[in-house]
Amino acid sequence: MTSHEIKIHFQQYASVEELNEPDKALCLESVKALQNSHSPYSKFKVGAAMRLQSGRIIYASNQENVAYPSGLCAERVALFYWGANHPGDPIESMAVTAHSDEFKIIKPVTSCGACLQVLAEYERKQGRAIKMLLYCQGGPVWAATGIESFLPFLFFEDRLTQPNQTPAIRHLNLVGEGGNKNL
């Protein structure tokens, strides 16, 4: 048996006031994004502001639906909007904040695993890391560049993206000629 240890690296700032001006401004923009949250079921609003290389800011918020799996987190709303509208303008950073009238939020809210996996995919797509700012209004900010700081076991399977293969050939490469090999 071999034992392994994973360490993550992030910075914690006591407040948004400790950040450099661009990061502070982006955190404050994420608060604006809370306004469009559709969260009548959880009453937990999440806002995201994403800065692109051009300086453009994309705003997004969580969008719930009575059929819970049909809703989307703020981070994925922002990323999918970017992918559909601005894929040639790389993402530099994203700030995420949350608010609830039901309870006080005392530390930064982290992105869910699905959002982190999508962030990882988009980092890979654009060929560069994204700086994440997790902002607790009236509290600390956690910052890290590169999603692996928050999701150390990213899922990537390079055999799924081999160029010049038809889906049938790609399937054979994954499962082998004898069928499913317990992938």
Catalytic residue positions, numbered: 75
Tally the residues of the chain: 183
If you ran DSSP here, which 8-state letter would residue 138 be given?
A: T
Q: What one-character-per-residue DSSP string does 28-61 give? A: HHHHHHGGG-B-TTT-EEEEEEEEETTS-EEEEE
CA 154 to chain centre: 12
**Token reading at 44:** 């937990």
From the list 11, 25, 13, 10, the residue with the least C-alpha distance to 95 is 25
Coil, helix or strand at residue 134: strand
The residue among 1, 27, 162, 44 whose CA lies nearest residue 94 is 27
First-to-final CA distance of the chain: 22
